[in-house]
């Protein structure tokens, strides 16, 4: 990065940022991050799973960097201490973020499952790429295998000293999916956002009726007595945050089940076997 400086001691306040009255740091435009060429975007269509996973991780790291720089810029502006270098960093991070997203968009466009994923409101190219890169349909005969791999199987316990039974990156990605469905839940086109809202109402009703008192009691032993959550647990009810998390997790698991059904049929040319709760226990029904 090339930076021109003038009267540095007089124009900074000790933080390295310019005062309003003496803006002397000039960032050269030609030093900005380069955007992807059409050839590079085309090459992104043939990314390996390892490369796609790396880019998905890099996207979220860059996104967090950009957010921190944005927040720092906002704080400095509020205190009338604008810092052009921090602002420049935010802009560069934003450019990288968008360019990686562009590459992952091309990667998912080249995959028929990627196209299906991006047709779902709340699922963009980055999340779609992460799912494609982490899930191997040939190793997932049922949706339950994906749930377990994503850390969404409550019967799968990570015992001390044992290998983690789930993929940490995929678990984090599924958390992000739940957040996305929640944010889009007011959009009538977001099927899983609507499912989240319905499930949340269902969970709330059960909690209010005392049907989840045993679970609330168990949680009450694990949280601090001065917390807001304890106030709810001690009364035999789940906390609002707990209910919301259960609803998001439910919507994500249904989404993964639907993804598995579509992907399995595309891969094998036949419908997948019924999940254990439906085929054996009769606890649920298939979505139409």
Q: How far apart are CA 21 and CA 287, in angstroms?
A: 63
Residue 19 has pLDDT above 90, yes or no: no
Sequence length of the chain is 288
**pLDDT value of residue 27:** 41
Q: Residue 172's closest CA among 52, 28, 56? A: 56
Which helix (DSSP H) or strand (DSSP E) does residue 27 occupy? strand 26-27
Q: Could you please report the per-residue DSSP string of 231-286?
A: HHHTTT---HHHHHHHHHHHHHHHHHHHHHHHHHHHHHSSPPPPPHIIIII-----
Please report which confidence band the pLDDT of residue 207 belongs to, taking 50, 70 and 90 as the band edges.
very high
Distance of CA 214 to CAs 82, 201, 208, 232, 236, Å? Answer: 54, 19, 13, 13, 7
Q: What is the pTM of this model?
A: 0.83
pLDDT digits (tens, 9 = 90+) for 175-199: 999 999 999 999 999 999 999 999 9
Higher pLDDT, 238 or 287: 238
Q: Is the pLDDT of residue 14 over 70?
A: no
Mean pLDDT over 102-125 rounds to: 97
pLDDT confidence of residue 276: 55
The pLDDT of residue 20 is above 50: no
Mean pLDDT score, 262-274: 93
Q: Does the structure show a pLDDT above 60 at 29?
A: no
Residue 26 has a CB neighbour count (10 Å cut-off) of: 12
**Rounded mean pLDDT of 216-239?**
96
pLDDT, tens digit, 9 for 90 and up, residues 160-180? 899 999 999 999 999 999 999
> With 80 as the cut, is the pLDDT of residue 253 above it?
yes
Do the beta carbons of residue 131 and residue 164 sit within 8 Å? no
The pLDDT, as a whole number, for residue 122 is 98
Instruction: Categorize the per-residue pLDDT at 85 as very low, low, confident or very high, splitting at 50, 70 and 90.
Output: confident
């Amino acid at each position: 990065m090339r930076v021109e400086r003038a009267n540095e001691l007089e124009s900074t306040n000790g933080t390295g940022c310019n005062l309003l009255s003496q803006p002397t740091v000039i960032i050269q435009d030609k030093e900005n991050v380069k955007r992807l060429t059409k050839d590079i975007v085309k090459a992104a269509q043939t990314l390996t799973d390892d490369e796609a996973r790396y880019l998905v991780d890099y996207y979220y790291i860059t996104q967090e960097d950009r957010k921190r720089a944005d927040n720092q810029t906002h704080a400095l502006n509020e205190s009338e201490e604008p810092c052009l270098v921090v602002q420049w960093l935010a802009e560069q991070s934003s450019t990288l973020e968008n360019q990686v997203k562009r590459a992952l968009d091309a990667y998912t466009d080249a995959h028929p499952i990627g196209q299906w994923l991006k047709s779902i409101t709340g699922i963009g190219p980055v999340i779609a790429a992460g799912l494609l890169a982490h899930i191997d349909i040939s190793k997932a005969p049922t949706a339950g295998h994906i749930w377990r791999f994503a850390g969404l199987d409550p019967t799968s316990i990570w015992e001390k000293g044992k290998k983690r039974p789930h993929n940490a990156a995929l678990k984090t990605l599924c958390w992000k999916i739940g957040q996305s469905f929640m944010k889009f839940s007011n959009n009538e086109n977001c099927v899983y956002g609507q499912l989240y809202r319905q499930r949340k109402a269902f969970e709330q009703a059960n909690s209010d009726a005392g049907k989840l008192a045993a679970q609330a009691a168990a949680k009450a032993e694990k949280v601090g007595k001065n917390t807001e959550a304890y106030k709810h647990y001690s009364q035999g009810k789940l906390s609002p945050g707990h209910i919301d998390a259960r609803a998001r997790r439910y919507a994500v698991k249904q989404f993964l089940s639907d993804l598995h059904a579509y992907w399995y049929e595309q891969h094998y040319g036949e419908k997948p076997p019924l999940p254990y709760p439906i085929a054996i226990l009769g606890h649920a029904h298939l979505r139409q």
